Amino acid sequence: MREIKRLNGIIFPDNLSNSKSINSYRINMGIYILMFLLYFNINVSSQTKFKKMDIIKVGSTVPSFSLKDQNGLNFNINSVKGKKNLVIYFYPKDDSPGCTKEACSFRDQFEVFNKQDALIIGISGQSVKSHLEFAKKHRLNYTLLSDEENKVRKLFGVPTSFLGLLPGRVTYIVDKKGEVVFVFNSQLNAEKHIEEALRILKNLK
């Protein structure tokens, strides 16, 4: 009984002496409840989706998929799987600040990746046209794939960021056996993806 009274006191405090305070309190409580329900719904939804799919992790074989590149040409991952090391990085959006830093860092280290016999592949949900403009603007010298329906993102099980409001930024390193050997997930440290990818590749036999 004491616990019920204590809870009642928290939800309906006695120090609300006027209607203005009561209305303000009700508004704040409504906002908190709405935020909680939104978070709960997104969390449950995300968990349900992940249960239905096989999340790609270290030790997984990279799945087969085919998408159009920035030039409108069909790119099939099976054409390079098992032949080269692969750096497959998912990013949120063309030409956004963080994604531009990441893309340009991959560009600047292109020759270093090439020495590791690694192919760089960027994937996001924008159109072929958007990818081409992005690539031309920043002189990107590697493949960008258009995943407008987010099928490949879902195939990999790439998680979202910021309560599901932003597509995740995740990099997968795949060896010449077609096996995922490293996964790096960081939305905010965009340029760290390049550093981590090179660190892993240099240790591959």
Backbone angles phi, psi at 160, to 5 degrees: -90, 170
Q: At what angle do helices 192-202 and 97-108 cross, to 10 degrees?
A: 30
Active site residue 104: no
Catalytic residue of the set 56, 86, 87, 99: 99
**Radius of gyration of the chain from Cα atoms?**
23
* 178 close to 61: Cβ distance less than 8 angstroms: yes
**Alpha-helical runs (H) found in the chain:** 2-11, 19-52, 97-108, 110-115, 128-137, 151-156, 192-202
CA angle 120, 83, 73 (to 5 degrees): 55
Structure tokens at 8: 């009642």
* 161 close to 129: Cβ distance less than 8 angstroms: no
Pairing status of strand 85-90 against strand 118-124: parallel
Identity of the residue numbered 69: D
Give the active site residues: 99
